[in-house]
Amino acid sequence: MADKFETPVLGDVEERPMPALACGAMAQSRSYVAAPAHQEALGFPKELVPDWQEKAIAKMGDLLSRYRSLRVYMDICVKCGACTDKCHYFLGTGDPKNMPVARQDLFRSVYRRYFTLAGKIAPKLVGAKEFTKELLDEWFNYFHQCSQCRRCSVFCPYGIDTAEISMAAREIMDSIGYGQKYCNEIIGKVHKIGNNLGLPAPALEDTLAGLEEDMEADSGVAVKMPLDVHGAEVLLITPSADFFAEPHVLGLMGYAKVFHASGVSWTLSTKASEAGNFGMFIGNYEQMRKIAMRIREAAIELGVKRIVFGECGHAWRVAYSFLNTLVGPWDFLDPRYPVPQHIVEFTTDLIRRKGIKLDKSGNDGMVLTFHDSCNIARASRMGDFPGGQFVLPREIIKATVPKFVDMNRDTILEKTFCCGGGGGLLTDELMEVRVKGAKPRLEALKQVVEQEGVTHMATICAICKAQFTKVLPYYGYDREMIVSVHQLVSNTIILGDND
Amino acid sequence: MAYTVNGKTVEADEEGYLVNINEWNEDLAALIAKDEKVDMTPEHWEVVNFLREYYAEYQIAPAVRVLTKAIAKKMGPEKGSNKYLYELFPYGPAKQACKIAGLPKPTGCV
């Protein structure tokens, strides 16, 4: 797998100039199209249907009538340019089609042609375009170079949400048999096996048993990884990457130790062995609902009182923002706790009440910074006050390491840069766009490494962890710089003596 | 795409993962490794063979941690690390070693 592109040179985060335009630079960067089997498993047409143009326009009409926001976004853009230099993919690639406004215009030009009077009468005057196969292919390329991170919408004076437009575009493409392999293959595995990885129950059991062994060998305490335990207090829903990849799995061991030390009984579920919900990435409500329904069913079957989510960015958006309307009501859960709750909330609460004790020497020599994950930063909240999603994870990190430093203010909190792999782009054939899209984040990281001696960057999203682990070496950094927040807790928590 | 090994054509997906894992054999593994610019040593074969054994039992490749533990047991504790596996398979032990072992690519946020 030789990479046929050059890794960009990291610049100064304080300057971050507008990149020189490189027209068509990413025109060849293309996701794999879903195979007929991947499409069929989700009830989508197996391949591009012959009358795709007519069907796509009808679908667009359907979406415009269902989501008023979409129509407003189509009509309200005044081409002010505020968004142009805010997308990490544009900043990393210089391809003007990766400017948020240009991405929206791929959709908008078709909208104008078929849904506005001016576009029907004088298309050329208003930038309206026929929906040709060539334009459809541009849709496929560039709507899969959007990680739906919503940074551009923070700077848009009208709040146009490019993520929502890219979700609508993907839904239209799925409906005509032109889906993306990465997302659709994974959703199929969730339906068939229960998680994105395709990890069957016996393998999950074996993996968890191995982790119990490791934790006992390391700490001398028998910390459990309970699976399908009826009557447990908490059901933990976590991304399946937590069972498989590094550093994800170190975070999972952190959650287990926190539950152990808190004395709260908990369980994982084979049925709901995935927090992620790629139904959101493809903009498909039915898929999103079907994936979320497993969580409800598992909670009822196991008779739990609380649901806690592990470290997964977009899962928390779905959980925090949509779970209630998607698969609620949750009246059978204990109303004294947030429904659902984030593991970061759970742990912060224990730290504040001194329900767990931490010994910072477990993380000696580490200087941490924190990467805010887009879906947590801009599409949800934690705790009971605005901005809690920024404060709580930092509170945990500060309690577990000797030194914490934030990155440049324009690259964190609500202005955080995407890792470069979110929204269904974490796939090998998009490596160039992933490496280049990580550039703005890594420029900010480079500054704190050089000026503050930062050794590690923590994050609370499985995609961010996998993406950084992969792309950091391209820029000369060690992949093990990326850590889970609960990995830091795992290294410091005192087990066995919490009275 | 497809591989041709010993006069036989074996079908693979766009990225070179076998469509039918039963068509795997050691000659084919050597060919895939060559495409990946991996020189197969006895250590590489240990990893590949372990992956295949695990897959036969669980229908999935082992977690990275399960793999490092197994390698430590077989080849000594100094080799039971993620770093060592990356030395053997620079594109990542999970994906590259799976491809050579004829197993499907691990999917998801990994």
A439-467 pLDDT per residue, tens: 999 999 999 999 999 999 999 999 999 99
Same domain, yes or no, for A482 and A335?
A: yes
Q: What is the CATH number of the domain that holds A159?
A: 1.10.1060
Band (pLDDT 50/70/90 cuts) for residue A2 is very low
Q: What is the CATH number of the domain that holds B38?
A: 1.10.10.370
Whether A202 sits inside 8 A of B15 (CB atoms) is no
Measured distance CA(A18)–CA(B76) in Å, rounded: 52
Same domain, yes or no, for A170 and A198?
A: no
**Residue A429 within any structural domain of the chain:** no
Residues 6+ away with beta carbon under 8 Å from A490: A250, A251, A253, A254, A257
Q: Å from A202 to nearest chain B CA?
A: 7
- What does the pLDDT look like over A127-152, one tens digit per residue? 999 999 999 999 999 999 999 999 99
Per-residue confidence (pLDDT) for residue A461, from 0 to 100: 98
Per-residue confidence (pLDDT) for residue A113, from 0 to 100: 98
Which one of A2, A185, A249 has the shortest CB-CB distance to B63? Answer: A249
Q: Looking at the 3D structure of chain A, how many domains does it have?
A: 2
The average pLDDT across B82-103 equals: 93
Same domain, yes or no, for A181 and A206?
A: no
Domain containing residue B64? 2-100
B96 part of contact set with chain A, CB < 8 Å: yes
Which residues pair with residue A484 across a beta bridge?
Answer: A459
pTM strictly above 0.95: yes
**Residue B6 within any structural domain of the chain:** yes
Which one of B58, B63, B86 has the shortest CB-CB distance to A200? Answer: B58
Same domain, yes or no, for A96 and A153?
A: yes
**Residue A430 within any structural domain of the chain:** no
Band (pLDDT 50/70/90 cuts) for residue A497 is low
Same domain, yes or no, for A145 and A50?
A: yes
Whether B108 sits inside 8 A of A239 (CB atoms) is yes
- What does the pLDDT look like over A372-419, one tens digit per residue? 999 999 999 999 999 999 999 999 999 999 999 999 999 999 999 999
Q: Please compute, for residue A451, the number of CA atoms within 13 A of its CA located in the half-sphere on the CB side.
A: 14
**Residue B105 within any structural domain of the chain:** no
Q: Chain B residue with minimal CA distance to A314?
A: B109
Our CA angle for A112, A32, A99, nearest 5°, is: 40
Per-residue confidence (pLDDT) for residue A1, from 0 to 100: 42
- What does the pLDDT look like over A151-190, one tens digit per residue? 999 999 999 999 999 999 999 999 999 999 999 999 999 9
> Which of A93, A86, A130, A73 shows the shortest CA–CA distance to A7?
A93
Per-residue confidence (pLDDT) for residue A253, from 0 to 100: 98
Residue at token pair 């009808």: A58
**Residue A22 within any structural domain of the chain:** no
Same domain, yes or no, for A348 and A391?
A: yes
**Residue B27 within any structural domain of the chain:** yes
* B109 labelled catalytic: yes
Same domain, yes or no, for A181 and A199?
A: no
**Residue B16 within any structural domain of the chain:** yes
**Residue A125 within any structural domain of the chain:** yes
Of A167, A186, A205, at which residue does a domain stop?
A186
Overall residue count recorded for chain B in this entry: 110
> Which of A425, A422, A470 shows the shortest CA–CA distance to A31?
A425
Q: A–B: how many Cβ contacts below 8 A?
A: 93
Of A186, A204, A238, at which residue does a domain stop?
A186
Per-residue confidence (pLDDT) for residue A496, from 0 to 100: 75
**Residue B60 within any structural domain of the chain:** yes
Give A465's contacts in chain B (Cβ within 8 Å): 109
Of A186, A213, A247, at which residue does a domain stop?
A186
Band (pLDDT 50/70/90 cuts) for residue B94 is confident
Res. B17: pLDDT tops 90: yes
**Residue A446 within any structural domain of the chain:** no
Q: Looking at the 3D structure of chain B, how many domains does it have?
A: 1
Q: Which of B7, B83, B109, B110 is catalytic?
A: B109
Whether B94 sits inside 8 A of A245 (CB atoms) is yes
Which one of A239, A246, A312 has the shortest CB-CB distance to B82? Answer: A246
B90 part of contact set with chain A, CB < 8 Å: no
Measured distance CA(A432)–CA(B11) in Å, rounded: 26
Res. A57: pLDDT tops 70: yes
**Residue B36 within any structural domain of the chain:** yes
Q: Chain B residue with minimal CA distance to A469?
A: B110
- Here the tokens at position A4 are 């046929």
**Residue A199 within any structural domain of the chain:** yes
**Residue A31 within any structural domain of the chain:** no
Which one of B15, B36, B62 has the shortest CB-CB distance to A428? Answer: B15
Same domain, yes or no, for A478 and A386?
A: yes
Whether B109 sits inside 8 A of A241 (CB atoms) is yes
Per-residue confidence (pLDDT) for residue A4, from 0 to 100: 83
Same domain, yes or no, for A204 and A158?
A: no
Band (pLDDT 50/70/90 cuts) for residue A3 is low
Percent of chain B with pLDDT over 90: 88
**Residue B107 within any structural domain of the chain:** no
- What does the pLDDT look like over A349-358, one tens digit per residue? 999 999 999 9
The phi, psi pair for A235, rounded to 5°, reads -100, 120
Band (pLDDT 50/70/90 cuts) for residue B93 is confident
Same domain, yes or no, for A105 and A90?
A: yes
**Residue B45 within any structural domain of the chain:** yes
Same domain, yes or no, for A203 and A312?
A: yes
Q: Compare A497 and A370 and report the one with higher pLDDT.
A: A370
Q: Chain A residue with minimal CA distance to B89?
A: A1
The string of DSSP codes covering A202-238 is HHHHHHHHHHHHHHHHHHSS-----BS-TT-SEEEE-
Whether A312 sits inside 8 A of B65 (CB atoms) is no
Res. A293: pLDDT tops 50: yes
Domain containing residue A466? 193-405+454-492
Res. A499: pLDDT tops 60: no
* Run of H or E residues at B10: strand B8-11
Same domain, yes or no, for A173 and A115?
A: yes
Taking all residues of chain A, what is their mean pLDDT, rounded to a whole number?
Answer: 97
Q: State the SS3 of A377-412.
A: HHHCCCCCCCCHHHHHHHHHHHHHCCEECCCCHHHC
Whether B109 sits inside 8 A of A239 (CB atoms) is yes
Res. A252: pLDDT tops 70: yes
